[in-house]
Amino acid sequence: MNLRSIDLNLLVALDALLTERHVTKAADRVGLSQPAMSNALNRLRAMFEDELLVRTTAGMKPTPRATELAEPLRQVLRQVERVMASDAGFDPTRTERSFTIRMSDILACLLLPRLAAARSPDARISYNVIHLPPSLTIDALERDEIDVAVSMGLEHSASIRSETLLRDRMVCLMRSGHPIKRGKLTFERFIAQEHMKVSISPTDLRFVDDVLAERGHRRRIRLNVPHWLVVPHVLKSTDLLAVMPRHLAAVLMDDGLRMEDLPFESAPFDWMLYWHRRYDQSNANGWLRDRLRAACSGLS
């Protein structure tokens, strides 16, 4: 295929078609008329010698070739956007730009209110927050699918930079009227209680369950949930305990909840900021990293 003959607008249309899987919706997505998008699809089919999208009773479905194209296509278009954007003249108060950040719901709870509040009134910058498993986060940075990541303990090559954003430690949260408040939270009383656990949290396993296992103990998990949002509501109506990062506990705390230190030694840990070394000198990426540092600066 001769690259000089490729119309970049066709690749933009293909990305929209593979995302929406609907000609009219894809046309709306990129600002084309429906006939123009249909024409683009016909040209794309000729270019790739493949149907790309086929009609079924359940709607339009991508062919194996189209599925194969989807991810590298998005990466190519993202790189083109970066090339066309003038990083040297980056002005956060004037630039219309969307940054993609990987962070968990814990970190979103802590950082997004501060990050959003720090925007200039006339800024046109937006944030797209996604939650990837730790195992996929470094790959996403390598493939330029995300601008930065906030996580902990990620193993990475020399192409990925990292720095400490925030020091944290694990604590115990319970309802204010919990019977355990009538005495000290000893190790024996902690182990005897029933617990609530968030299954997606690596901090629970690494800094609590592993520590207890080394001492020959384990928590009595009565309730295992996939999200942090439900934790405070459940704790207020039960005698369950939950362990969590102290900064998150501080955000969730109100008159109905109380925080206690863990009755055993649990090492502190760091929330880390990760980015690719290709953006070491990027004004835009550097601005984003500064905003995240500033969002963490008031947390103690």
Task: Share the mean pLDDT of the chain.
Answer: 88
| CA atoms of 55 and 193, how far apart (whole Å) | 56
Q: Say what the pLDDT of residue 189 is.
A: 93
Report whether CATH 3.30.420.40 matches the domain 170-267: no
pLDDT (tens digit, 9 = 90+) per residue, 81-104?
A: 766 665 767 888 888 788 999 998
**One fold for 3-84 and 96-165+270-297:** no
Alpha helices in the chain (DSSP H): 8-20, 23-30, 34-48, 64-84, 105-117, 134-142, 187-192, 202-204, 210-214, 231-237, 246-252, 283-297
Secondary structure of residue 58 in the 3-state scheme: coil
Tell me the CATH architecture of domain 96-165+270-297: 3-Layer(aba) Sandwich (3.40)
Fold of 3-84: Arc Repressor Mutant, subunit A (1.10.10)
For 129-167, how does the pLDDT look when each residue is reduced to its tens digit (9 = 90+)?
Answer: 998 888 899 999 998 889 999 999 898 989 999 999 999
Contact of 161 with 277, CB cutoff 8 Å: yes
Task: Find how far residue 210's CA is from the centre of its chain.
Answer: 25
3-state secondary structure of 70: helix
* In contact, 114 and 295? CB cutoff 8 Å: yes
The answer to pTM > 0.85 is no
Residue 25: predicted pLDDT: 92
Q: Sign of the C-alpha dihedral, residues 93, 96, 101, 106?
A: positive
- In the chain, domain spans: 3-84, 96-165+270-297, 170-267
